[in-house]
Structure formats: C-alpha cells, structure tokens
C-alpha cells in the first residue's frame, strides 16, 4: 500500500488473510470421502454484504461521495478541525461502500473461478473502485505534505481518534510518494497491468487438473484438482506419494512457461515501481506496510535461518520413523500415524473447534457459533473453487467470512480452527472501525495460530494412546516447520528471483527452478533429497504473484503466536482478558504496543530466539513421543 486511496483502488476486495498457503495445500486437500456429504450445503450467504442494495448502487453512492470531496482540494493545511473530521468520515464511508461491493464480487468469484460472468463482475468493480480511488489521491498526498506541527495539531483533537493511528502510519510513506499525476497513472495502469496478471494467474492455477493414478503403476487415472493431488503427499504408502508427486509435476508442465511469463512480468512491474518510488530493496515496500524496519525483518530471517538445524533434525527423525535412509521432498508431509483414521464429518469438526474455543474463552465460542449458524462459511470442495483456505475481513460494519475446502481429514479440523481464529480477530476488532480494524500482516497470524494450538491441545487431551499422540505432536511440529522455516525459505526464493530479475532480465523456467531448489536445499540440508520433479512447484503459489514479500510474515506471526500461547500456559485464565484486549485492539496501535498488551517485547532482537526455542521444544516432545510409541 502506498497511500490510502491507492490502496482501495488497487486492492479491490480486501482478503486480509492470505488466500492460499502452499503448506496448507499439501496438508489439507484430498478427494472428499462419502462422509463429507454433510458439508455440501455449508455455503456462505453474501447478500447481507450489499445491505439490501445492488453492487451498482453501492458504487454509485461511493462515486457521489467522492465527487462531493472534490471541493476539499487544497484545503487540508488550513481547514478547521471539524471539516477535517468530516472529510475522513466521508472517506470511511467511501471505503465501506467499495469494500462491500468488492468483497461481494471477489468472494463470489473465489468459489467459482471458471464463471466468466463472475470474473467480469469482479473486474468491473475493480475498475470503478480505481476511478474513485484516483479521484481521491489528492487527499493522501496533501496529508503527506503537511508539516509535522500541523499533523500533531490535528491529531490532538479526539474527533480524529477513529483514524489517528492510520494517519500517523500513512506519514511513513512521504518519501516514497510521486506527484498526483504519476500516482494516477500508476493506479489506472494497474487495471490492465499487475492486477490483470494476478487475475490471470488465479484463473490459470484454479484450472490445473492432475491425472492421479488409481494406484501406483496403474495406467488408469482419476482427474482431480491440484489440491486433491497434493494431499496424497500425506499418504502412508511411499509409492502413492511418489506417484502423486510425479502426477503433480506432470500436471504443472502445461502452462508452466505462461505462468513463468506472468511471474516475470510482475517481477519487472514491481522493480519499476520500486525504482520510481525510491525503495532501497524489493522488500522495503512490504516492510513499510507491515510497520517493520528492513533491519528487523533481516534479523528475523537471519534468526530463522540460523536454526535450520531444527527442520533438518526432524526430517532425519522422520526418516527413521518411516524406515527410510533419507526422505525425498515428496516424503516430508507423509503421515506418521499407524492408520489414517476415520473421516471426520463437518458436524464433528464443528463440535471439536467450538469446544476448544469454549475451553479457553466462552465468549469466543459464542462468536464462533455465529459463523456456523449464520452462513458465514463456505466449506465444500467444488469444481472451479480456488484451493486453500482464508478469512475475508470484509468491512468493519459487516462481519468476516471463512473460505475452506473441507475434506473430512483431521488436518481440516486444525485448518478450521486456524481460519476461525482469523475470523474472531476480525469480528472483535470491528469496534475499532474501518481504519483500525486490520493489523499489519506480521501480527495477522496471532489469533489463528493461537486458536489452532488450543484445538490441538484439546485433541491431545482426548488422545491417550502413545502412537496417536505422537502423530498429533508430529502434525503440530510440522505445522511450525512449514510456517516458520519453509516460509522463510520461500522468502529467500523471492529474494533471489526479485534481485536476479532486476540484475539479469527475464528469467527462464530453469532459473526459477534452480532458485527454488537452492533455497529449499539450504533449509533441509542433507536430510531431504530435493528431486528434479520438485523444481516446478514454485509455479502454483499465489503469494509470489499477488502479495510479493508476504511470506516472512508467516514466520513472524507463528513465533509471536507461540510466545503468546506460552504466556497463556504460564498464567492460565488470568491471561484471557489480555488476549481478548489484543484482539479487540485490531490495528489501532503500533505493533510494539500491541505486543506489549500480551507481554511480548517485539523490539527485542532476542524475541525471535524465544519463539524458536518453543519450536525446538515441540521437536523434543515429538522425539520423546516417538520413543514412547516404539517408533524409533
């Protein structure tokens, strides 16, 4: 985000939480079991977003409000405080109207990406939002140009409390803004540039199908989604995993050069904009939006890379458990359970998650129940539905929605708990209003990981058998490894491709594959063989396309969330009010101030070491459980 108006115009529907995570795809999707039939009718109701109007009505009202603000041009430096408050209240209303229309269009398209009419509707909303946003760019530019004295004079008035932190935060962009004419060109151009290529990538990847062998070595195949094929990497039979990995690689081959071209185009687009704005590196703009310094992010990445011994130690242990000399990349997600377990119905998963949240805070369980009872969730897998899981915050005057691909596996329960955490964070922070509802990405995973961990503990309490407990502990550890270490490795992949694209020009498919393999091999060391087949698997991950630089926020968020959960373990129920205060605060404070609510010092460089020690503790517990279960 550069300035507020540009953010609205260029982002369209605001999916506050990442729409898709590569690690989730490998861990959750599968071909639905017959027992999943009870989930088929779990579909969200998007009509309340429109508040009884049409998308056109919402956008027309927003356009009228924006036209009314034209008279404010050039007056921000001298306007009375009452007029300034009224100006930003109007901006809030415009955001709300566009957010409702954009989320309605975007969420409808997410569940049916093959529907051309829905795609066209989403594009139409984006184009009209762009026009509104560009007409309001002058407000953000005038705010950035104000003197520090004038800013403090205005923000001292309680009338601006509803947007004060946001306005202070926006001042950080002053050195990276262009003229109004240049900002307008960039924003307008994105509709046929970066935004169009992002949509193209979504449609390309959503259309990928995999010819999965009915059994290893069989010539008979079943056509399944990419996500369903990736789920087979958790199968206990290595031959099934290997066949699935080969099928995925074969399925990614058609269109690989096209996806590489899309990536190359967006890499260059970002390089041009970074150069024009004066950002010092490809990641600096992301750090700015995350309210993090380049130095603090470099410290995080360095700390995580310095503990690559943790995943390597686990993968070597896992090879022992599986009876292998060494894991291959397609073995990393293999289940260590003695048996796959019975399918978990939607109703059973719902009960498990609600009980877990109730055990921590009944207030959270009461809110979570609304998601189920009031149709705020879309859960079943369907043809054309995008893969993965996410939470859409929508707007502060409405409620969030959860997007899932439920497949009746135990991992789905934890995914539901994870996304429900995002949903509860979004719901409780609505009281902060539109400007302060959302946290920076680096804090966005706190509630989701916390909720997932509470649910895991519930499952562990109900699992006395050593072998089953080991399987659960292994699953938890692998979640931490995926979120902390693998996402950091992905950050390093992005670092290589962004810099190489700037230094060397357009990259080949082979170069992308080489950078992908190098960064994965750095993480896994000699514990895992990274096969040649794996070199194309970068090509379906949307974060690289839609949100450059995002992935390190997973590591940040996981380590923070684990630290917060440790506070809960230490303090018990007396910690609950602090945690709820954190959720309700949304993004109304600096990250360091939000962390202080739950006794976490985010400014301390050693903070990351504490979180990494917790992950190592998970590894130690898994090792002990493996021995108790007689697996090693």
C-alpha span between 578 and 316 (Å, rounded): 39
Average pLDDT over residues 410-415: 88
pLDDT one-digit tens code per residue, 490-511: 999 999 999 999 999 999 999 9
Is pLDDT above 70 for 341? no
Mean pLDDT is lowest, of 71-80, 156-165, 450-459, for 450-459
Question: Both tokens of residue 435?
Answer: 């400007």
Long-range contacts of 577-580 (CB under 8 A, 24+ apart): 579/361, 579/450, 580/361, 580/363, 580/364, 580/428
User: Strands 377-380 and 327-328: what pairing?
Assistant: unpaired
Is pLDDT above 50 for 254? yes
3 state SS for 424-475: HHHHHHHHHCCCCCCCCHHHCCHHHHHHHHHHHHHHHHCCCCHHHHHHHHHH
Is pLDDT above 70 for 70? yes
Q: What is the pLDDT of residue 388?
A: 84
Is pLDDT above 90 for 204? yes
Question: Both tokens of residue 452?
Answer: 């997932």
Q: What is the pLDDT of residue 400?
A: 98
Is pLDDT above 60 for 8? no
Torsion of CA 71, 73, 76, 79, to 10 degrees: -30
CATH of domain 4-12+44-110+114-202: 1.20.140.70
* Rounded percentage of the chain residues whose pLDDT exceeds 90: 78
Instruction: Work out the pLDDT band at 198, boundaries 50, 70, 90.
Output: very high
Q: What is the pLDDT of residue 383?
A: 86
DSSP state of 151: H
pLDDT one-digit tens code per residue, 298-323: 999 999 999 999 999 999 999 999 99
φ, ψ dihedrals at 390, nearest 5°: -160, 170
Q: What is the pLDDT of residue 9?
A: 31
Q: What is the pLDDT of residue 340?
A: 60
* Rounded percentage of the chain residues whose pLDDT exceeds 70: 94
Instruction: Work out the pLDDT band at 4, boundaries 50, 70, 90.
Output: very low
pLDDT one-digit tens code per residue, 550-562: 999 989 989 999 9
φ, ψ dihedrals at 528, nearest 5°: -140, 135
φ, ψ dihedrals at 210, nearest 5°: -120, 135
Q: What is the pLDDT of residue 26?
A: 37
Name which of 254, 263, 245, 267 is nearest 207 in CA terms: 254
401 pairs with which residues across the strands? 392
Q: Which is higher by pLDDT, 8 or 606?
A: 606
Instruction: Work out the pLDDT band at 31, boundaries 50, 70, 90.
Output: very low
Phi-psi region of 102 (alpha: psi -120 to 50; beta: other; left: phi over 0): alpha
Place of tokens 């950050």: 491
DSSP state of 482: I
Average pLDDT over residues 20-34: 37
C-alpha span between 491 and 55 (Å, rounded): 37
Average pLDDT over residues 52-71: 97
Q: What is the pLDDT of residue 461?
A: 85
Instruction: Work out the pLDDT band at 337, boundaries 50, 70, 90.
Output: confident
3 state SS for 36-50: HHHHCCCCCCCHHHH
Q: Which residues contact 399 (CB under 8 A, 6 or more apart)?
A: 370, 374, 376, 426, 427, 430
Q: Give residue limits of the domains in the chain.
A: 4-12+44-110+114-202, 31-40+207-381+401-632
pLDDT one-digit tens code per residue, 565-587: 999 999 999 999 999 999 999 99
Place of tokens 């996304």: 419
Q: What is the pLDDT of residue 387?
A: 80
Name which of 71, 81, 99, 101 is nearest 153 in CA terms: 81
C-alpha span between 181 and 179 (Å, rounded): 5
Mean pLDDT is lowest, of 24-33, 137-146, 162-171, for 24-33
Mutual angle of helices 576-585 and 410-428, in 10-degree steps: 70
Whether the Cβ atoms of residue 493 and residue 519 lie closer than 8 Å to each other: yes
C-alpha span between 300 and 105 (Å, rounded): 37
Q: What is the pLDDT of residue 460?
A: 85
Question: Both tokens of residue 244?
Answer: 């699935």
Rounded mean pLDDT of the chain? 90
φ, ψ dihedrals at 83, nearest 5°: -70, -35
C-alpha span between 512 and 496 (Å, rounded): 9
**Which burial class, exposed, middle or buried, applies to 377 when counting CB atoms under 10 A from its CB (0-12, 13-18, 19+)?**
buried
Q: What is the pLDDT of residue 249?
A: 98
Q: Which is higher by pLDDT, 604 or 361?
A: 361
C-alpha span between 142 and 83 (Å, rounded): 15
**Which burial class, exposed, middle or buried, applies to 579 when counting CB atoms under 10 A from its CB (0-12, 13-18, 19+)?**
buried
Name which of 18, 21, 37 is nearest 406 in CA terms: 37
Average pLDDT over residues 336-343: 74
Average pLDDT over residues 455-467: 86
Q: What is the pLDDT of residue 284?
A: 96
C-alpha span between 273 and 171 (Å, rounded): 19
Average pLDDT over residues 153-163: 97
Please report how many Cα atoms fall inside a 13 Å half-sphere around the Cα of residue 630, on the Cβ side: 2
Mutual angle of helices 607-628 and 309-322, in 10-degree steps: 10
Q: Which residues of 251-274 are buried (b: 16+ CB within 10 A; e: fewer)?
A: bbeebbeebbebbbbbbebbbebb
CATH H-level superfamily of 31-40+207-381+401-632:
Oligoendopeptidase f, C-terminal domain (1.10.1370.20)
3 state SS for 45-72: CCHHHHCCCCHHHHHHHHHHHHHHHHHH
φ, ψ dihedrals at 545, nearest 5°: -90, -50
Average pLDDT over residues 56-81: 97
Question: Both tokens of residue 253?
Answer: 């081959």
Name which of 14, 5, 132, 6 is nearest 437 in CA terms: 14
Question: Both tokens of residue 325?
Answer: 């000399």
Question: Both tokens of residue 191?
Answer: 């509709």
């Amino acid at each position: 985000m550069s300035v507020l108006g540009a953010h609205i115009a260029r982002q369209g529907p605001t999916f506050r939480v990442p729409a898709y995570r590569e690690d989730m795809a490998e861990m959750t999707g599968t071909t639905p079991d017959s027992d999943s039939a009870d989930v088929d009718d779990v579909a969200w109701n998007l009509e309340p977003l429109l508040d009884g109007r049409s998308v056109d009505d919402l956008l027309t009202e927003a356009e009228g409000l924006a036209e009314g603000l034209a008279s404010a041009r050039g007056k921000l430096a001298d306007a009375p405080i009452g007029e300034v408050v009224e100006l930003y209240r109007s901006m809030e209303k415009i955001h709300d109207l566009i957010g409702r229309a954009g989320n309605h269009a975007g969420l409808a398209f997410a569940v049916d990406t093959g529907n051309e009419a829905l795609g066209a509707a989403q594009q139409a909303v984006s184009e009209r939002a762009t026009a509104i946003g560009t007409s309001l760019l002058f407000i953000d530019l005038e705010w950035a140009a104000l003197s520090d004295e004038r800013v403090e004079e205005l923000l001292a008035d309680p009338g601006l409390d509803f947007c004060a932190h946001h306005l202070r935060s926006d001042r950080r962009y002053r050195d990276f803004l262009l003229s109004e004419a240049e900002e307008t060109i960039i924003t307008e151009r994105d509709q046929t540039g970066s935004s169009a290529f992002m949509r193209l990538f979504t449609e390309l990847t959503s259309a990928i199908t995999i010819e999965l062998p009915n059994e290893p070595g069989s010539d008979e195949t079943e056509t399944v989604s990419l996500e369903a094929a990736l789920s087979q990497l958790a199968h206990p039979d290595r031959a099934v995993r290997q066949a699935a990995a080969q099928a995925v690689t074969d399925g990614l081959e058609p269109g690989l050069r096209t996806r590489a071209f899309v990536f190359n185009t967006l890499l260059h687009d970002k390089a041009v904009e970074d150069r024009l704005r004066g950002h010092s590196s490809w990641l600096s703009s992301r750090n700015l939006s995350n309210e993090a310094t380049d130095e603090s992010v470099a410290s995080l990445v360095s700390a995580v890379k310095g503990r690559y011994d943790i995943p390597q130690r686990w993968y070597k242990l896992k090879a022992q458990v599986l009876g292998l000399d060494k894991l291959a990349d397609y073995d990393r997600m293999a289940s260590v359970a003695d048996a796959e377990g019975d399918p978990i119905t939607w109703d059973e998963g719902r009960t498990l998650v609600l009980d877990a949240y109730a055990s921590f805070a009944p207030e959270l369980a009461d809110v979570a129940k609304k998601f189920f009872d009031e149709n705020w969730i879309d859960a079943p897998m369907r043809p054309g539905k995008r893969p993965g899981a996410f939470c859409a915050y929508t707007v502060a005057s409405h409620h969030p929605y959860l997007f899932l691909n439920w497949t009746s596996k135990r991992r789905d329960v934890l995914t539901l708990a994870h996304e429900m955490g995002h949903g509860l964070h979004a719901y409780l922070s609505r009281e902060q209003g539109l400007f302060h509802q959302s946290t920076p990405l680096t804090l966005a995973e706190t509630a989701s990981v916390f909720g997932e961990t509470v649910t895991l503990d519930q499952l562990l309490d109900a699992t006395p058998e050593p072998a089953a407990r080991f399987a659960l502990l292994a699953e938890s550890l692998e979640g931490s490894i995926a979120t902390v270490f693998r996402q950091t490795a992905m950050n390093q992949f992005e670092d290589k491709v962004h810099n190489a694209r700037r230094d060397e020009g357009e990259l080949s498919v082979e170069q992308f594959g080489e950078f992908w393999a190098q960064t994965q091999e750095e993480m896994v060391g000699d514990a895992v063989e990274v096969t040649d087949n794996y070199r194309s698997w970068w090509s379906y991950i949307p974060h690289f396309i839609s949100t450059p630089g995002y992935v390190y926020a997973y590591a940040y968020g996981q380590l923070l969330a684990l630290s917060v959960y440790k506070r809960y373990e230490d303090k018990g129920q007396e910690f609950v009010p602090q945690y709820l205060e954190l959720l309700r605060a949304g993004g109304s404070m600096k990250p360091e101030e939000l962390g202080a609510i739950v006794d976490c010092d985010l400014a301390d460089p050693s903070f990351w070491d504490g979180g990494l020690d917790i992950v190592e503790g998970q590894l130690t517990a898994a090792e002990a459980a493996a021995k108790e279960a007689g697996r090693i």
